[in-house]
A = this chain, B = another copy of it.
Amino acid sequence: MQSPRATGRPRDARIDAAVLDATLAVLDESGYRRLTLEEVARRAGTTKPAIYRRWAGRERLVLAALARRLGEIEVPDTTCTMCDLGESLSVFIAAFRRMPPDVLGPLYADCSSEPELRAEFMSALFDPPRAAVAQTLDRAIARGDLRADLDVGLTLDLLASFVHYRALFGHATTDAHETERAVETLLHGIATDYPHLLAHSLGLSEPPVRAHELHHDAPAT
């Protein structure tokens, strides 16, 4: 943000680290809702005012702690589109596995009220893995493995939302096998004969003969 203060007593960097560590520890034990700043301060061997000097509230504190744990995201880049997508999703899922439902949901709930805070949440936690998958998609398109007219944003949302859904509502631990199935499903589609369905929806009762040559875009009306 701004340049470090040139005057006065410098901040003790060990306190920063101790507070972030304590925050993560309390989060893992008690979740986000039961996290109190006094407990964090106690464990970090410091006090509440010292925390407020550094972060503007508990949302920002937790964001900082989680962002630190999230670390950097690496983008897989082999020549295998399916592998890359699966791997990207795995990284994605692994990232969220480190942020249990007890944390991510309530945290976002608290962040969603204030636009600026919300933006910080997004850029700190959601955007990084999302960008990784986006890059994978772009590469696959450039390689010719995905359709050139693909709506990357939409596809990204389909993938990302799937992971978030599982992470937030954690009714199932998304394992590697299911990741694979999801990628497979998305790549292949779920229809037996998509052109046929498309034609039907357009009111043509008989399916087009040259189904495979039919372009993805709907014919002009």
Contact = CB atoms under 8 A, between A and B. Distances in A.
Interface of A: 31, 33, 79-83, 101-102, 105-106, 108-110, 112-113, 126, 144-147, 150-151, 154-155, 157-158, 160-162, 164-166, 168-169, 178, 181-182, 184-194, 197-198, 200-201, 212, 216
Contact of A109 (B106, B145, B157): B106
A191 B33 contact: no
Number of copies: 2
User: Which of A102, A108, A109 is the most central at the interface, judged by chain B CB atoms within 10 Å of its CB?
Assistant: A109
B186 A113 contact: no
Instruction: Kindly list the 10 A-B residue pairs having the minimum CB-CB distance in the complex, ordered from nearest.
Output: A189-B189, A161-B165, A106-B109, A82-B201, A109-B109, A187-B191, A161-B161, A188-B194, A105-B109, A188-B189
A199 to B, nearest CB: 10
Nearest to A194: B188
A113 B162 contact: no
Contacts of A162: 157-158, 161-162
Contact of A192 (B80, B146, B155, B184): B146
User: Which of A110, A146, A190 is the most central at the interface, judged by chain B CB atoms within 10 Å of its CB?
Assistant: A190
Nearest to A201: B82
22 contacts: A33-B113, A79-B200, A80-B200, A82-B200, A82-B201, A102-B112, A105-B105, A106-B106, A146-B190, A146-B191, A151-B185, A154-B185, A161-B162, A161-B164, A164-B164, A164-B169, A168-B168, A186-B189, A186-B190, A187-B191, A188-B189, A188-B194
